[in-house]
Structure 1
Amino acid sequence: MPPSYSTPRTPPADMPFPPSARLLGWTLEHFDDNTGLLRVRFDGKPDFLNPAGMIQGGIQAAMLDDTLGPALWLTSRGRLYAPTIDMNVSFLHPAAPGPLFGEGRVVKLGRTIAFLEGCLYDKAGTALTRATATARVQQFDASRS
């Protein structure tokens, strides 16, 4: 079960906040500078439901992608950005509408490639979706955000 963080934290003022993050209801819950673990909250909106009444898998993958990228950005203290090259997603349980929580971290950061992993949880702490990703490390250019 993931750790529980009760107080949302304000993201750094220079942290990029793209329209996709707004659409998904992205809110920073916690970032641990020592472990590099990021926890964010998403809104599992009715607009995201598939015909079975659960959050569509592509939306869950987008939530995890929007967890992993910021984990790298925060770990590097805003110096690095890493577009995803490859992402493997495993759907463990259906995701019901409501609050969802993404946790992500940098597994290994190389000069040109980063390896990332994350998991999406429901409010009860059930692991719903897991992802591993490979990303291309680049210097962050704030003028592009």
Structure 2
Amino acid sequence: MSVFDGFVKPPCAETLGWELLEADEDTGAVRVRMQGRREWCNPGGNIQGGFVAAMLDDTLGPTVLVKTGGEHYCATVNLNVSFLAPARLGEFTGHGRIVRLGKSVAFLAGELVDRDGNTVATATATARVVPTGALAKKG
């Protein structure tokens, strides 16, 4: 059973094709899979940077939910993305981790890797830690 089992997947995660592959409850580290879609391509045929940033944001955010056993999630305050290589159509794996988790602020980091194992972008984020009471629950 996963901490995610009690919550409805948000529409943004559905749009990204978000799928949890691994979650470490002790550290909050996650590994997720997403699908880069043709509709997200720029004129050069690569995934536009805003969608890459969205995939990274949806990689980092779940770390707090995992680490707190579903008691808290995070709201991104600042997201810094470094684009390292073109993001081509297809499957991506996001690796997210908690750098430091406080009572009200979390510092997060992660990478987005393409199907060939190339890191296409990295990110760090500062996020507000929020109780999950307002999240949509399955029922």
Distance in 1 between residues matched to 2:88 and 2:7, nearest whole Å:
29
Distance in 2 between residues matched to 1:74 and 1:122, nearest whole Å:
24
Identical columns (%): 46
What is the root-mean-square deviation of aligned Cα atoms in Å?
1.6
Q: 2:106 aligns with which of 82, 96, 114?
A: 114
2:115 corresponding residue in structure 1: 123
Q: Tell me by how many angstroms 1:123 deviates.
A: 1.2
Q: Which amino acid aligns with 2:23?
A: F
Give the unaligned 5+ runs of structure 1: 1-8
1:144 paired to 2:135 = yes
TM-score by length of 2: 0.91
1:134 corresponding residue in structure 2: 126
Mapping of 1:1-145 within 5 angstroms?
12-141=4-133, 143-145=134-136
SS of aligned partner of 1:54? coil
TM-score by length of 1: 0.88
SS of aligned partner of 1:62? helix
Contact 1:48 1:56 in 2 (8 A): yes
The total of aligned residue pairs comes to 136
- State the Cα deviation string for residues 39-82 of structure 1 (Å, max 9, x = none): 10001111111110001100000011111111111111101111
Distance in 2 between residues matched to 1:134 and 1:12, nearest whole Å:
22
